[in-house]
Amino acid sequence: MNTHGIRAIYKFEMARMWRTLMQSIASPVISTCLYFVVFGSAIGSRMGDIDGISYGAFIIPGLIMLSLLMQSISNASFGIYMPKFSGTIYEVLSAPVSYVEVVIGYVGAAATKSVILGLIILITARLFVPYEILHPFWMFAFLVLTAVTFSLFGFIIGIWADGFEKLQIVPLMIVTPLVFLGGTFYSIDMLPDVWQTITLFNPVVYLISGFRWAFYGVSDVHVGISVGMTLLFLFACMAGIWWIFKTGYRLRS
């Protein structure tokens, strides 16, 4: 195991985060604050409780998930895309590191950043709405599991992308709609039957539902299914990465 190699990549990536502090931390925190102000305090105060939870508190898990997914994907995809773009990837390819070590370095750093960000947003939310966390351990476990899973997904996107545009397409065109329609702002019980069924095909529903359960003990789907679906996506991403390195796809001709 080349631990020095893993540490080098991890440190390099974390240094990038501190350098781009505004982009990495400040901007998602600000946009989340705006959501809290608009939906939590302003509109939320005129809305009834959902499942016995005030609306402002209800949307917290979904909003954290939104930032967590977006940032995990963008951190990890940028992390691996940039060396490909600048050509410095040659060094990683020629180094005595296994692909598992490369992934641990890049994805570990991206997930770390996302978890830090998620916790910052959680603390920030406290300024706007009171909430409680029923299962703090599970809350943190969901946070880490989701950050790792979507950082792996971002890593795949970063390998696949051959231009900056493609880096943006997936987070903007796919992840954002899935999060908005995945129960961030409403309980899926509130939808007509047909839409409830359709919504169950949205993987983000399971993430948000499970995460909300960790906060308030209520969920749209059973928490076990949430964990199962998240793990399923995690393994799918791992399989994708295994395939990428096995075939050298867009890395090694």
Partner 1 sequence: MQPDISIQNVSKIYADGFHALKKINLDIKRGEIFALLGPNGAGKTTLISIICGIVNLSEGRVLAAGHDIVKDYRQARSKIGLVPQELNTDAFETVWDTVAFSRGLFGKAPDPAHLEKVLRDLSLWDKRNNRIMALSGGMKRRVMIAKALSHEPQILFLDEPTAGVDVELRRDMWNMVRGLRDKGVTIILTTHYIEEAEEMADRIGVIREGEIILVEETHRLMAKLGKKELRLHLQAPLDKIPGILALEPLALSEDGYELVYTFDAQREQAGVARLLRQLGDQGIDFKDLQTRESSLEEIFVGLVNE
Does 2 bind partner 1 (CB under 8 A)? Our answer is: yes
**225 CA to centre of own chain:** 18
Give the integer Cα–Cα distance in Å for 81 and 98.
18
Binding mask 117-156 for partner 1 (x = CB under 8 A): ----------------------------------------
Among 25-33, 70-78, 92-100, 220-228, the segment contacting partner 1 (CB under 8 A): 92-100
| H-helix or E-strand spanning residue 82 | helix 60-86
Task: State the number of binding residues for partner 1 (CB under 8 A).
Answer: 26
Is the Cβ of residue 18 or residue 195 nearer to partner 1 in the bound state? 18
Check binding of 9 to partner 1 (CB under 8 A). Answer: yes
- Provide the terminal-to-terminal Cα distance of the chain, rounded to the nearest Å: 25
The single residue among 69, 92, 125, 167 that binds partner 1, judged by CB under 8 A, is 92
With contact defined as beta carbons under 8 Å apart, do 122 and 202 qualify?
no
Q: Is position 222 an interface residue for partner 1 (rule: CB under 8 A)?
A: no
Q: Does 19 bind partner 1 (CB under 8 A)?
A: yes
Q: For 178, phi and psi rounded to 5 degrees? A: -65, -40
Does position 8 interact with partner 1 (CB under 8 A)? The reply is yes
* Options 51, 90, 126, 231; binder of partner 1; rule CB under 8 A: 90
Binding mask 70-89 for partner 1 (x = CB under 8 A): ----------------xxx-
Which single residue is written with the structure tokens 């995945």?
182
Confirm or reject binding of residue 12 to partner 1 (CB under 8 A): yes
Written as six digits, the tokens of 158 are 């970063």
Buried/exposed 9-36: b ≥16 CB within 10 Å, e otherwise: bbeebbebbeeeeeebbeebbeebbebb
Q: Compute the least distance from the CB of residue 15 to partner 1, in Å.
A: 7
Those residues whose C-beta lies under 8 Å from the C-beta of residue 202, and which sit 6 or more positions away, are 178, 181, 182
* Chain contacts with partner 1 (rule: CB under 8 A): 2, 4-5, 7-9, 11-12, 15-16, 19, 86-88, 90-98, 248, 252-253
